[in-house]
Amino acid sequence: MPMTMLATVLAAVLSSIVVVGLGVASYRLLFHPLARVPGPKLAALSTLYEIYYDLVQKGQLPWQLKRLHERYGPLVRIGPNEVHINDTSFILDLFSSTNNKLDKYAPHQQQLGVPNALVSTIPHQLHQLRRSALAPFLSGSRMTTAYRPVILDKVENVSARLEAIRQTESVVDLRQLLWYMANDIVTDIAFPQGTHLLDSPVLQSGYYNFQKGGQAMLLWFKHFPFLWTIFKAMPPAWIIKMEPQAAVPMNWEIANKKIAKEVLAGNNICEKSTVIHHLWSSGLPEKEKELNRVWEESASLLGAGGETVTNAICTTMFYVLRDRAVQSRLVNELKSAMPDDTVVPPLPVLLALPYLSAVIQEGLRKAIGIMSRFIRVNPSEAVVFHPYRLPPGTALSCSAFLVNNCDSIFPEPEKFMPERWMTSEDKLINRRKKLVLTFGTGPRRCLGEHLANAEMYYVIAILFRRFGFTLYETSERDVEPARDSFMPLPVEGTKGIRVRVANVT
């Protein structure tokens, strides 16, 4: 091809790209149904706006959303087809109502690597089918019966370790210790073989560090889901060779998948009932009981029951330890409820303790839960937020980070104030509880809420009844969210939530 012809072809291609680009930009800015919704023009043009704050600015989008709402108001267009909402009444009406049949946002389905699990299910009806099948396994009644011995066994293990640390006057990172506990609990409950991380005489940090590295990658997986395809296609031996710290979780997964395959084939080679048995014996269609689907559902429980629970417990403990008055009042209540610190009351007794409950509710508010925004889509009906009409298919989002820190609902939200949950105004308390979005809200509210609450009540009651803690070189920067990586992360370089352990006073 002569050079002049090649130049002509290239010029035509480039011109076409420019024309198409200008056409798309013009449509999104001037003619799109969301064109009148306030927000930055760059966000309306492209999802590169979100990618910039996620990846270049390393998880700073939640803080940018806060600034955008301060500038533009309660409704902000943050993408070509997405609006972010920061109006608590509208959030309750839209997201919390069981009457609204909202789908999950399809472009983010692959982020967690379990696209067939409940947490990633897009259609509302399929989500409700899967939820109804899984819900009995995580019911509140099981926390007081079948799962109580499992939870208490792991908490007693933690207690024994803390007693040994007390005697040596050394320092312990609560975040790492309680992360092992949370993982041992959820795997012992849900899987044929638990992780048994606490059974090791010396806690190995490899598994913990590998998980932390994976968590930091979640925003990359959100925008570039093909990375999951590459990772899953790699033989486990390759992964372990490149990252030796992956050996424990990879070998654990291989062993449990092998048992799961047998269970789903009708060969009950496992002595205990697991989530795999539960789903296999449920009324779900056979397609929903295929190995890959069931394994992804099981794996999602591990993801939800590890880091999020750990963060909630550690956040709560930090703020209690930072305020002597709060700590003293909590310990006094626990001494009355547990005269003998070796006898742990039933969960309903702990749930009825007013100050313990207030401390935990405030801890959940501060912990945030999921840092990334909740995104829903109404596929068939327009949503009206006067004076704007948001057409069917619009991505509608809100953020627990913003709602949990809304100063009109939670005055002085930066402060840890259990007393805000002890007012006699029941209507106010109920509204506040609905607007703590740590477990999400509405028909897609987290099913693991009962398990997380049980762990929080047992851990905080037992540990504060038996031990006195003092923070060691730990401040708010080691606890407060500083980055969004789906879950809230503190500043880089934190050494955890470190404490010294003493006798309770």
Binding residues: 446
Number of Cβ within a 10 Å radius of residue 472: 15
The answer, yes or no, to whether the previous bond of 387 is cis (omega within 30 of 0) is yes
Query: What Cα–Cα distance (Å) separates residue 184 from each residue in 196, 316, 346, 395?
Result: 6, 20, 21, 37
| CB-based contacts of 471, cutoff 8 Å, min separation 6 | 318, 321, 322, 497, 498, 499
Positive or negative, the CA dihedral 464, 183, 492, 403 is negative
Tokens representing 25 are 């930009």
Q: How many helices (H) and strands (E) does the chain have?
A: 22, 12
List, as one string, the DSSP characters of 160-197: HHHHHHHHHT-EEEHHHHHHHHHHHHHHHHHSSS---G
Inter-axis angle of helices 354-367 and 324-337, to 10 degrees? 130
Q: Tokens 């905080």 correspond to what residue?
A: 460
Specify the length of the chain in residues. Answer: 505
Annotated binding residues for heme, written as ranges, equal 446
Under DSSP, the state recorded for 102 is P
The Cα–Cα gap between 151 and 184 comes to: 9
